[in-house]
């Protein structure tokens, strides 16, 4: 580096003046780079002649030139060797000055750095800190001079942690890591630091330079993200993902001889609360109930919300009698909850299915047993606990799983399913662009069976591909009969492994001649992540045929932006749990805005589920969400697509849809139009 600026010029001016006086010449000029520094005498004299020029060199580097001028043709009498030696000293002075400025620049840079910097000797004694260190820790340079960085220790790390760090440093290796330290005022903070050993000319470690960055806020945000990923946003209980992780731990201990139990808890008649008092009341009930149940479980037990009105409790180190006793305490607490909404009392009760964990069954089988016991409790009148296998506490043994399997197979065989439709609205203009097709099962008595009653059994025992096939057949026929209609059809996670079903769907779409974009499929986020390769295969092959895809229930599963980027879906459907209070809950509003921004960045449109009020819709428009779906525009219904029908074609459509079944799919077993249940979409 060559010294530049006023300090250098002043030094060279002084040298030029001294040389001019020493050799009695009218002018001495020193050239360094593009600059020329002259002595003051004779600068404008036209009789000056170039007398002698010597290079200013440092090693192999030429820094400039030293030039002497004389008046007239006679050259000055100088000792050329002496002058060469002087020129060498001038060059060394320039280099020395440059080194000093380099040091000054480095010092200024370190003192101005945003990150804290501390320099210690090899023995750990502090030699220098920058102002950022004082800002970070509260310790001044005077207070820490000669001291040791151990004054920052928080006590959060073991001796082994520091021993490993020092082993790396003393071996000459750079150490990078995170640690918790303590400020002068006692406050604990998180920092990320890099410590670099500095060797002297002999190769021995002489100093250590540590660069520190405060990452307390980043750690807090990471912890918040981890919490959101593993907890339910409404109740703040652990979510399904956290439950499955804990269940595996409990199973491991059970195989080692520590008995446990699983309780599946469901709120009785929860739908009536939503329908009569609104979803805000339902949400408040779930939140209050979660707090009440938390107060009953023992320290070390685990309670989570699986979704909707379903909770699960893992009891550790319990026998049959104690597990049943705890379950009954939970039931009684719910029964005496005393829940009120806007001054109106709401009766609350829960049904509980109990299964013992002895290490002989896997997680899937345990959940099936607990679910079977739960449905048995529902069938026997609700507000009770039933254990599996059904014992004296549960009364008569019911083959719950077999019964549901028989009912679902019978409905498939007899065509006792129906499709309802719910509009998907473009928020910008209020127009309907799509409808979502929602499947319902018709019971033996002609009444609607709620999806959350039969779908869990269909999923668990491999019947979902058959139901998905039936839904696809009806959706395709509906699209062919209504040329202006665009529909979404749901695909279950179980169907993603059914290559035969995929081939069948491809063949039927090719033969139908649908315009691109009229048929869209929905896959839940959890299903897509659980079988990522199969999901990508389905998306790729069906998009080649002009179909679109939506990632459903986004936000309640893994919420991985990496998976969102990797899946070539066209729409992201934000789960209703983030929409129901988006107008009042700033956290949910921020999450919706974040998902919307990321989705748009990735070229995907966003659909908000569960829009129930104009306030919801207004906030979503402000955020920039394109589409909305929910009770604000209509409940799932059979006749909602009448606007797309040509008058007089309805009976023909029903006849065509019923060709593959013994009774029309959109009719109940009695031959009358299937009633429209008031269900959440």
Encode pLDDT of 619-643 as tens digits: 999 999 999 999 898 888 877 776 5
Both 169 and 207 in one domain: the answer is yes
- pLDDT attached to residue 96: 67
- pLDDT attached to residue 100: 63
**Assigned token pair, 205:** 């470690």
**Assigned token pair, 124:** 């750990």
DSSP 273-302: HHHHH-HHHHHHHHHHHHHHHHHHSPTT-E
CA distance 240 to 553: 14
Is residue 604 classed as helix, strand or coil in its secondary structure?
coil
Establish if 670 belongs to a structural domain.
no
- pLDDT attached to residue 477: 93
Q: What is the mean pLDDT of residues 578-598?
A: 90
CA distance 212 to 275: 57
Q: What is the mean pLDDT of residues 574-590?
A: 88
Q: Which of 155-169, 442-456, 593-607 has the lowest mean pLDDT?
A: 442-456
Q: What is the mean pLDDT of residues 275-285?
A: 83
CB burial class (10 A; 0-12, 13-18, 19+) of residue 201?
Answer: exposed
CA distance 179 to 257: 38
pLDDT tens-digit readout, 313-346: 999 888 888 888 899 999 999 988 878 777 777 8
Both 93 and 134 in one domain: the answer is no
Both 292 and 320 in one domain: the answer is yes
Per-residue confidence at 548, pLDDT binned at 50, 70, 90? Answer: very high
CATH number, position 279:
3.30.70.270
CA nearest neighbour of 135 among 191, 202, 199, 70: 191
Q: Which long-range contacts (CB under 8 A, 24 or more apart) does 457-460 make?
A: 457/371, 457/401, 457/404, 457/405, 457/408, 458/408, 459/492, 459/493, 459/494, 460/364, 460/367, 460/368, 460/371, 460/401
Q: Which of 135-139, 306-310, 664-668 has the lowest mean pLDDT?
A: 664-668
Q: Which of 238-252, 293-307, 321-335, 633-647 has the lowest mean pLDDT?
A: 633-647
Whether the predicted pLDDT of 464 surpasses 80 = yes
Both 164 and 192 in one domain: the answer is yes
- pLDDT attached to residue 4: 44
Share of the chain above pLDDT 90, in %: 28
CA distance 119 to 650: 84
Q: How many domains does the chain have?
A: 4
Establish if 448 belongs to a structural domain.
no
Within 546-638, strands assigned E span: 548-554, 571-574, 605-609, 627-629
Q: At residue 604, what are phi and psi to the nearest 5 degrees?
A: -115, 150
- pLDDT attached to residue 623: 94
Tell me which of 143 and 18 has the higher pLDDT.
143
CA nearest neighbour of 220 among 181, 189, 242: 189
Both 203 and 227 in one domain: the answer is no
CATH number, position 90:
3.30.450.40
Rounded to the nearest integer, the mean pLDDT of the chain is: 81
Establish if 541 belongs to a structural domain.
yes
Both 123 and 239 in one domain: the answer is no
ω into residue 16 within 30 of 0, thus cis?
A: no
Establish if 450 belongs to a structural domain.
no
- Examine the fold and report which residue of 58, 93, 110 is the final residue of a domain before the chain moves on: 110
Establish if 66 belongs to a structural domain.
yes
pLDDT tens-digit readout, 185-238: 999 999 989 998 888 888 888 888 888 888 888 888 877 777 777 888 889 899
- pLDDT attached to residue 646: 37
* Structural domain for 137, as ranges: 114-214
Per-residue confidence at 649, pLDDT binned at 50, 70, 90? Answer: very low
Is residue 635 classed as helix, strand or coil in its secondary structure?
coil
CA distance 667 to 482: 19
Tell me which of 11 and 391 has the higher pLDDT.
11
* H or E stretch at 617: helix 614-623
CA distance 403 to 394: 17
Beta bridge partners of 480: none
DSSP 184-218: TTS-EEEEEEEEEEEE-TTS-EEEEEEEEEE-HHH
Both 153 and 250 in one domain: the answer is no
Beta bridge partners of 265: 311, 352
Per-residue confidence at 675, pLDDT binned at 50, 70, 90? Answer: very low
Establish if 287 belongs to a structural domain.
yes
Whether the predicted pLDDT of 40 surpasses 80 = no
Per-residue confidence at 541, pLDDT binned at 50, 70, 90? Answer: very high
Both 118 and 258 in one domain: the answer is no
Would you mind telling me the total number of residues written for the chain in this entry? 681
Alpha helices in 461-585 (DSSP H): 464-481, 499-512, 525-530, 532-543, 561-566
Q: What is the mean pLDDT of residues 403-412?
A: 83
DSSP 152-189: GB-S-S-HHHHHHHHHHHHTT--EEEEEEEE-TTS-EE
- pLDDT attached to residue 220: 84
Q: What is the mean pLDDT of residues 356-384?
A: 86
CA distance 651 to 168: 81
Whether the predicted pLDDT of 478 surpasses 90 = yes
pTM of the model: 0.43
- pLDDT attached to residue 233: 85
Both 188 and 234 in one domain: the answer is no
**Assigned token pair, 273:** 């609360």
Both 194 and 241 in one domain: the answer is no
- Examine the fold and report which residue of 149, 179, 214 is the final residue of a domain before the chain moves on: 214
Q: What is the mean pLDDT of residues 650-656?
A: 32
Both 58 and 184 in one domain: the answer is no
- pLDDT attached to residue 392: 42
Sign of CA dihedral 620, 439, 354, 493: negative
Establish if 529 belongs to a structural domain.
yes
CB burial class (10 A; 0-12, 13-18, 19+) of residue 83?
Answer: middle
Where residue 79 falls (left for φ over 0; alpha for ψ -120 to 50; beta otherwise) is beta
CA distance 371 to 266: 10
- Examine the fold and report which residue of 76, 110, 144 is the final residue of a domain before the chain moves on: 110
Both 367 and 392 in one domain: the answer is yes
Is residue 32 classed as helix, strand or coil in its secondary structure?
strand
Establish if 410 belongs to a structural domain.
no
Whether the predicted pLDDT of 398 surpasses 50 = no
**Assigned token pair, 474:** 């009806």
**Assigned token pair, 667:** 């009719």
- pLDDT attached to residue 677: 30
Whether the predicted pLDDT of 664 surpasses 60 = no
């Amino acid at each position: 580096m060559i010294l530049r600026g006023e300090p250098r010029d002043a030094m060279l001016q002084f040298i030029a003046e001294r040389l001019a006086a020493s050799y009695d010449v009218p002018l001495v000029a020193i050239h360094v780079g593009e600059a020329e520094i002259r002595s003051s005498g004779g600068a404008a004299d036209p009789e000056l002649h170039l007398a002698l020029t010597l290079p200013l060199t440092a090693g192999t580097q030429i820094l400039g030139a030293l030039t002497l001028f004389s008046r007239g043709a006679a050259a000055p009498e100088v000792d050329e060797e002496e002058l060469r030696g002087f020129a060498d000293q001038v060059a060394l002075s320039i280099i020395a000055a440059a080194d000093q400025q380099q040091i000054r620049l480095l010092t200024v840079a370190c003192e101005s750095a945003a990150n804290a910097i501390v320099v210690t000797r090899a023995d750990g004694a502090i030699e220098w800190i920058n102002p950022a260190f004082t800002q970070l820790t509260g310790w001044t340079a005077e207070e820490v001079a000669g001291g040791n960085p151990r004054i920052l220790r928080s006590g959060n790390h073991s001796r082994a942690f520091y021993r490993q760090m020092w082993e790396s440093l003393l071996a000459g290796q750079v150490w990078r890591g995170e640690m918790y330290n303590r400020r002068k005022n006692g406050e604990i903070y998180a920092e990320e630091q890099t410590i670099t050993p500095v060797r002297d000319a002999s190769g021995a470690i002489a100093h250590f330079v540590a660069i520190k960055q405060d990452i307390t806020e980043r750690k807090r945000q990471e912890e918040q993200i981890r919490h959101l990923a593993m907890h339910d946003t409404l109740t703040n209980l652990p979510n399904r993902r956290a439950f499955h992780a804990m269940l595996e731990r409990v199973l491991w201990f059970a195989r080692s001889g520590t008995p446990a139990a699983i309780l599946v808890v469901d709120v009785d008649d929860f739908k009536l609360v939503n329908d009569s008092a609104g979803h805000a009341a339902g949400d408040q009930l779930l939140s209050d109930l979660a707090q009440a149940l938390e107060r009953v479980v023992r320290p070390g037990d685990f309670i989570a919300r699986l979704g909707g009105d379903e909770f699960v409790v893992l009891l550790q180190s319990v026998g049959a009698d104690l597990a049943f006793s705890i379950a009954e305490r939970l039931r009684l607490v719910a029964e005496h909850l005393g829940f009120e909404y806007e001054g109106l009392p709401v009766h609350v009760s829960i049904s509980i299915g109990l299964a013992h964990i002895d290490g002989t069954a896997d997680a899937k089988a345990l959940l099936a047993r607990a679910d079977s016991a739960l449905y048995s409790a529902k069938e026997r009148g609700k507000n009770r606990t039933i254990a599996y296998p059904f014992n004296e506490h549960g009364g008569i043994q019911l083959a719950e799983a077999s019964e549901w399997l028989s009912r679902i197979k019978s409905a498939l065989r007899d065509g006792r399913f129906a499709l309802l439709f719910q509009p998907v609205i473009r928020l910008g203009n209020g127009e309907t662009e799509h409808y979502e097709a929602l499947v319902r099962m018709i019971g033996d008595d002609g009444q609607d069976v709620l999806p959350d009653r039969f779908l869990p059994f269909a999923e668990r025992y491999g019947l979902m591909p058959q139901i998905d096939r039936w839904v696809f057949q009806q959706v395709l026929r509906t699209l062919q009969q209504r040329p202006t209609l665009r529909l979404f059809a749901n695909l279950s996670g179980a169907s993603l492994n059914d290559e035969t079903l995929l081939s069948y769907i491809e063949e039927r779409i090719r033969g139908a001649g649908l315009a691109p974009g009229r048929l869209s499929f929905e896959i839940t986020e959890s299903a897509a992540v659980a079988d990522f390769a199969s999901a990508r295969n389905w998306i790729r092959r069906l998009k080649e045929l002009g179909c679109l895809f939506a990632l459903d229930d986004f936000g309640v599963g893994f919420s991985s932006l990496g998976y969102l980027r990797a899946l070539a879906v066209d729409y992201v459907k934000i789960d209703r749990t983030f929409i129901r209070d988006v107008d009042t809950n700033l956290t949910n509003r921020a999450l919706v805005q974040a998902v919307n921004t990321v989705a748009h960045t990735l070229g995907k449109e966003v659909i908000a589920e569960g829009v129930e009020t104009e306030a919801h819709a207004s906030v979503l428009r402000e955020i920039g969400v394109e589409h909305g779906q929910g009770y604000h525009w209509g409940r799932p219904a059979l006749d909602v697509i009448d606007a797309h029908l040509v008058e007089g074609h309805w009976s023909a459509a029903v006849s065509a849809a019923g060709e593959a079944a013994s009774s029309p799919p959109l009719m109940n077993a009695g031959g009358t139009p299937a009633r429209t249940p008031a269900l959440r979409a």
